[in-house]
Amino acid sequence: MSAPVPDPAAKARVALVACPDYDPQRVQTALQRGIALLGGVERFVGRNERILLKPNVLTGASPGRNVCTHPAVFAGVARLLLESGAKVSFGDSPGFGSLAAAAAKAGLAAEARELGVTMADFSTPAQVSFNEALIAKQLVLARAAVEADGIVNLPKMKTHGFMRLTGAVKNVFGCVPGMRKGEYHVKMPRVEHFAAMLVDVCRRLKPRLSVMDGIVAMEGNGPGSGTPRPMKVLLLSDDPVALDAVFCRLVRMPPQHVPTMVPGAESGLGFWADGSIAILGDDADSLACPDFQVVRSPAAEMDRSFPYYLKKWITPRPVIDAGLCQKCGVCGEVCPLEPKAVRPPNGDTDRVPVYDYPRCIRCYCCQELCPHGAIAIRRPVLSRLIHR
Ligand code: SF4
Ligand code: SF4
């Protein structure tokens, strides 16, 4: 593949490196190449610095399900950091269950043990003031993330019901501990407010480097129950907005339809416009996947300030497939509302849960975390017609 010539006017750089599969040696070679394109690992970390790796550990899912950052990518980046003399730990706040259990199932804990990478305590919160915030001037973050010398962000290339795509900016939200993530959904149910908060969290913690695992991405009903889609690519950048914009370009998604893009650029977190990003390494067009299954209309269509009689005709809603539902109750447990907007009818846990749609704030946490892929997001006919 021929290397594109970077635009000299570009303000951000994203390394795009083809990698056919998760063979550990091939992943390591691709990571080394990507880091070299960005100027070498020493640009990002120094000897004895405490660096926190932030993989995507949405929930305990085996590597074959492509929900979490793959262990080969996690281990490959950890090795590069350790070789540069950094002290490396890792952490995330899964949407359901403990980090230890989720990381073990995702294959990350075994790699971490072998490399001497410690698991950070992500359950202890720190209250952080952020006066330059777009919306969240007070943030509750994992103390381990706040106190690290630097963060290296390891997002997974996936679709997302609420934010359209989950990438580098969104991945940092996992530094909000435990159920506090749900509180942010309740406080900021509107798409643009939630996106501004995501940008604030990312700006406050400002990862030094993001490395996106796009070797096998997830399309369709992501981020927990979508379909694996080999994209055969790793993306690396110190600009998380630019990295997400290149992800958009690969899947032919208008970047401005991902709600973190515009506030991300306006707040100085990064750049998303084509002319402002230099793509280094392999050719984006030859790695692109134009038929990637993702909703390409603007996420702002889901603005939940509509009164219910309008909302039910316009706003996509979560729907349970009774044939797939295992009545495990996870959807109710992760729903941030009290009382829950999805629960078993008459408290009978042997029956498929039902939604209270007028109360539901459409955060899609239930769809995100249903362990059996039984919840899909259904777009009302009117919404589909409007955006056709
Ligand atoms: S989380 Fe999924 S499988 Fe479990 S009860 Fe809810 S819909 Fe059913
Ligand atoms: S029912 Fe699902 S989409 Fe609705 S508020 Fe609860 S978790 Fe969010």
State pLDDT tens for residues 205-230.
999 999 999 999 999 999 999 999 99
* Mean of the per-residue pLDDT values of the chain: 94
On the question of pLDDT at 302 being above 60, the answer is no
Nearest ligand, CA 330: 1
Q: What is the dotted CATH code of the domain comprising 304-386? A: 3.30.70.20
Mean pLDDT across the stretch 59-67? 96
Q: What is the pLDDT of residue 206?
A: 97
The tens digit of pLDDT for each residue in 348-386 reads: 999 999 999 999 999 999 999 999 999 999 988 777 776
Give the residue with greater pLDDT, 307 vs 262.
Answer: 262
Superfamily of domain 12-287: LarA, N-terminal domain (3.40.50.11440)
Say if residue 310's pLDDT is above 80: no
Q: So where are the chain's domains? A: 12-287, 304-386
Task: Please tell me the distance from the alpha carbon of residue 178 to that of residue 99, in angstroms, as a whole number.
Answer: 10
Rounded distance, CA 284 to CA 288, Å?
6
Q: Which ligand is nearest to the CA of 96?
A: 1
> Which pTM value belongs to this model?
0.95
The Å distance, Cα 61 to ligand 1 centre, comes to 16
Q: 18-28: per-residue pLDDT in tens?
A: 999 999 999 99
**From the CB of 330, is ligand 2 less than 6 Å away?**
no
How far is residue 199's CA from residue 127's CA, in Å, rounded to a whole number? 17
Judge if the beta carbon of residue 312 lies within 6 A of ligand 1. Answer: no
Ligand 2 centre distance from Cα of residue 365 (Å): 6
Looking up tokens 């209309």 gives 297
Say whether 304-386 and 12-287 share the same fold. Answer: no
Mean pLDDT (whole number) for 241-255: 98
Report the pLDDT value the prediction gives residue 267, as an integer from 0 to 100: 97
The atom of ligand 2 lying closest to the CA of 365 is 7
Give the ligand with the smallest distance to the CA of 360.
Answer: 2
* Distances 245 to 1, 53, 252, 275, 348 between C-alpha atoms, Å: 21, 22, 10, 11, 45
**Ligand 1 atom nearest to CA at 342:** 6
273 lines ligand 1 (CB under 6 A): no
pLDDT > 90? residue 293: yes
What pLDDT score was predicted for residue 1? 41
Ligand 2 centroid to Cα of residue 290, in Å, is 31
The band of 301, judged by pLDDT with boundaries at 50, 70 and 90, is low
